[in-house]
Copies of this chain bind each other. A is one copy, B any other.
Amino acid sequence: MKAVRLHEYHKRPSVDELPEPKVTGPLDVLVRIGAAGLCRTDLHIYEGQWEPLTHPELPFTLGHENAGWVEDIGSAVSNVAVGDTVILHPHITCGLCRYCRAGDDMHCVASIFPGVDGTDGGMADYLLTGARSVVKLDPSLQPAEVAALADAGLTAYHAVKKAVPLLYPGTTALVIGAGGLGHIGVQSLKAMTAATIIVVDRNQAALELVSGYGADHTVLADGSEAGKVQELTDGQGAEVVLNFVGEQGAETLGWSLTRRAGSHYIIGYGGTIDVPTIDVISTERNVVGNLVGTYNDLAELMALTAQGKIELHTRTYPLDAVNDAMDDLDAGRLRGRGILVP
């Protein structure tokens, strides 16, 4: 089979011929890949940025946002059958640690991260994974439509779901960043809450996109955004701020627009939270970390998608054109998410 293999950092991956993987263990699932998302993380891996984090052994197959059809299963697999359409949770988790037993997959003490940590990923004809990573899809969904939700979409959904209990009617959710994660966040908010949604972004086109997805107000980040959001919230700020940027000043903006007794959800990263403790306590505000999402979160996001409540802008490339796709992504020519189709 074909597979996109990274042989060396700073050298574009090659499409190699590899033997097809086989089911051997009782919980193995072999997936015929229908689509694999290409993500900025893939560029970071190519640049070696993940080397100190996961020490992957080269070469390996890229691709951590995967969807396809079940080709074969091990003897103990009961959640999917051959022929099912599936999307893959980005992690293969142990199912045995306290975190797994509580459903908090992202904190599994022994998880595997295919396509990132040196385990072969999904930019290939086939991917061997485990039963705990496959989510069965409504047959109406196509792998190419959903693959890019496996990681980026899941992360946005997870943060929104944690915020839902705070977003009763009459409250405001401020979304900072209307990009790949943010526009899924806006759609998730619309589907699950009646909160007023304000979106701030530097890019007018991105704001127009989310207006169509249910944002009640959009604010261009041109230096006047703090004042405009204050005006929209009677000078109080928002009960929930979902910060999909987390750097370049957004981390400060988000806190300053978090209402008394409110919560600032950090999803994007790069910057630094820098807040006096007197400011934390005198207003009783919170800073909330967010990391990927659970297996059930992914199943729920797929339920929303099957209901037509989540849409994703994509551009499809054949697997052989992976380097065209990487070049386009690198050069900023890629609108929406790039999808590789074997």
Contact in complex: B110, A78 (CB < 8 Å): yes
Q: Of B132, B194, B283, which contacts A303 at CB under 8 A?
A: B194
Q: Is the CB of B194 within 8 A of A304?
A: yes
Q: How far is the CA of A195 from the CA of B267 in the complex (A)?
A: 26
Shortest CB distance A91–B (Å): 13
The minimal Cβ–Cβ distance linking A76 to chain B, given in whole angstroms, is: 8
Q: 8 Å CB contacts to B: which residues of A196-249?
A: 246-247
* Contact across chains for A283 and B272 when beta carbons are under 8 A apart: no
A residues 159-195 with Cβ under 8 Å of B? 161, 164-165, 168-170, 191-194
Q: Which residues of B contact A107 (CB under 8 A)?
A: 260-261, 284
> In the assembled complex, which residues on chain B have CB atoms less than 8 Å from the CB atom of A307?
169, 194
Contact partner of A301 (CB less than 8 A), chosen from B95, B169, B275, B304, is: B169
**Complex Cα–Cα for A169 and B192 (A):** 8
Task: Give the residues in chain B near A164, CB-CB below 8 Å.
Answer: 164-165
Indicate whether A266 sits within 8 Å of B281 (C-beta atoms), given known contacts A272-B275, A303-B194: yes
What residue of chain B has the Cβ atom nearest to residue A138's Cβ? B170
Does B290 contact A281, Cβ atoms closer than 8 Å?
yes
Which residues of chain B are near A299, meaning CB under 8 Å? 98, 101, 170
- Asked if A309 is at the interface (CB within 8 A of a chain B CB), the reply is yes
Name A294's contact: one of B27, B101, B275 (CB within 8 Å). Answer: B101
Q: What separation, in Å, do the CA atoms of A26 and B76 have in the docked complex?
A: 11
A interface residues, how many (CB within 8 angstroms)? 73
Question: Does A318 belong to the interface (CB within 8 Å)?
Answer: no
17 more A-B contacts (CB under 8 A) besides A95-B95, A268-B277, A286-B288? A101-B299, A102-B103, A107-B261, A169-B191, A169-B192, A191-B194, A192-B193, A194-B303, A269-B276, A269-B277, A269-B278, A270-B277, A272-B275, A273-B273, A283-B291, A285-B289, A287-B287
A contact residues vs B (CB 8 Å cutoff): 25-27, 76-79, 94-99, 101-107, 110, 131-132, 161, 164-165, 168-170, 191-194, 246-247, 251, 260-261, 266-278, 280-291, 294-296, 299-301, 303-304, 307, 309
14 A-B interface contacts by CB (under 8 A): A25-B26, A78-B94, A79-B97, A101-B294, A107-B260, A161-B168, A169-B307, A191-B194, A194-B307, A268-B281, A270-B278, A273-B277, A286-B288, A286-B289
